[in-house]
Amino acid sequence: AQTVTQSQPEMSVQEAETVTLSCTYDTSESDYYLFWYKQPPSRQMILVIRQEAYKQQNATENRFSVNFQKAAKSFSLKISDSQLGDAAMYFCAYRSGYGNKLVFGAGTILRVKS
């Protein structure tokens, strides 16, 4: 079974600086997708970024980018120019290319200091 591990329960970053959230996963599959979701205090789960395993190029969405290391099974999220609105719980998630279920990590709380 696939597992997703987020080893940082909590991270802090100064406003305008850069922070990287870590995620590792375990799978024997070659076709899969990886996601980062943001959950602010409102509890809504918001998709931040998606990465297809077959793509070597790292996905980017404005200030958010990933470092996808397939061989190491690592999928970290980099947030540049951090803003107060980035403060939230961030979840890393895995989905098999052949299946339907999202497997989530336990989450990382990101605090942004002004």
Partner 1 sequence: NAGVTQTPKFQVLKTGQSMTLQCAQDMNHNSMYWYRQDPGMGLRLIYYSASEGTTDKGEVPNGYNVSRLNKREFSLRLESAAPSQTSVYFCASSEALLLSTDTQYFGPGTRLTVL
Output Rg (C-alpha) for the chain, integer angstroms.
Answer: 14
Judged by CB under 8 A, does residue 45 bind partner 1? Answer: yes
- Give the nearer residue to partner 1 in terms of CB position, either 42 or 114: 42
Judged by CB under 8 A, does residue 77 bind partner 1? Answer: no
Torsion angle, CA of 97/20/40/92, rounded to 10 degrees?
A: 20
From 10-18, 59-67, 75-83, 96-104, span contacting partner 1 (CB under 8 A): 96-104
Judged by CB under 8 A, does residue 110 bind partner 1? Answer: no
DSSP 49-86: EEEETT--SPPEETTEEEEEETTTTEEEEEE-S--GGG
Least separation in angstroms between CB 15 and partner 1: 27
Least separation in angstroms between CB 13 and partner 1: 22
